[in-house]
């Protein structure tokens, strides 16, 4: 394939960070009109200085977070973890988030952190014509860590379902 891919304009996403779709077979809004497999997607991100994302969880996606510049702390709690833990990444390092893991991206630094997110299978995100979220492979939460722990790690809103994901992928393929 004779094509070079580069990040487009960064846009705010529901977790509070900035994202640019780079390579995603399920994304009709990128410059891809390609028949790529559903095996992975890549997005470029920026976490502004002294900010944190909202806590979110992805029930179907395994995601590698790769730090391109700056540093980033990931606070996570997987299904089998008794309590949340933190990993701090610097440029050139990556961490893996497995399906069902609660994650928060924290940039405590004075400079932005630039990342790549490599997801498998390809991340599915669909907006309506008015740019409101129609489907998102992640569930972005308003709860904090203490509230989630008290609730037995059950979010107040339901997780996306495989049936919803399948419908969204079908709509994106037809657009």
Q: Distance between alpha carbon 169 and the CA centroid of its chain, in Å?
A: 17
Taking residue 10's Cβ as centre, other Cβ atoms within 10 Å add up to 14
Q: Which pLDDT belongs to residue 175?
A: 72
Domain of residue 71, CATH code: 2.60.120.10
Q: Which is higher by pLDDT, 7 or 86?
A: 86
pTM over 0.85: yes
Q: Which pLDDT belongs to residue 88?
A: 98
**Tens-place pLDDT, residues 71-96:** 999 999 999 999 999 999 999 999 99
**Tens-place pLDDT, residues 26-65:** 554 444 444 555 788 899 999 999 999 999 999 999 999 9
Domain membership flag for residue 131: yes
Confidence band for 24, pLDDT divided at 50, 70 and 90:
low
CA dist., res. 156 & res. 129, Å (int): 27
Strand partners, 73: 88, 106
Residue 160 has pLDDT above 70, yes or no: yes
Domain membership flag for residue 127: yes
Q: Percentage of the chain surpassing pLDDT 90? A: 64
> In the predicted model, what is the mean pLDDT of residues 8-30?
73
Domain membership flag for residue 106: yes
Domain membership flag for residue 123: yes
Q: Which is higher by pLDDT, 17 or 93?
A: 93
**Tens-place pLDDT, residues 136-153:** 999 999 999 999 999 999
Residue 18 half-sphere exposure toward CB, CA atoms < 13 A: 15
Q: How many domains are contained in the chain?
A: 1
Domain membership flag for residue 1: no
CA dist., res. 96 & res. 19, Å (int): 18
Domain membership flag for residue 4: no
Domain membership flag for residue 104: yes
Domain membership flag for residue 32: yes
Range of the domain at 60: 11-151
Mean pLDDT of all residues belonging to the chain: 88
């Amino acid at each position: 394939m004779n094509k070079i891919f580069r990040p487009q304009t960064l846009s705010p996403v529901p977790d509070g960070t900035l994202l640019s779709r780079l390579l995603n077979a399920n994304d009709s809004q990128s410059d891809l009109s390609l028949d790529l497999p559903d095996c992975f997607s890549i997005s470029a991100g920026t976490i502004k200085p002294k900010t944190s994302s909202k806590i979110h969880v992805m029930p179907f996606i395994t995601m590698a977070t790769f730090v391109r510049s700056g540093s980033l702390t990931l606070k996570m709690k997987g299904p089998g973890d008794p309590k949340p833990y933190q990993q701090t990444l610097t440029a050139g390092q990556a961490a893996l988030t497995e399906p069902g893991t609660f994650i928060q991206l924290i940039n405590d630094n004075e400079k932005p952190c630039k990342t790549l997110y490599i997801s498998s299978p390809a991340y599915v995100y669909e907006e309506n014509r008015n740019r409101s979220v129609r489907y998102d492979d992640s569930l972005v939460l308003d709860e904090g860590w203490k509230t989630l722990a008290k609730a037995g790690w059950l979010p107040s809103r339901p997780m996306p379902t495989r049936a919803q994901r399948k419908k969204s992928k079908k709509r994106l393929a037809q657009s």
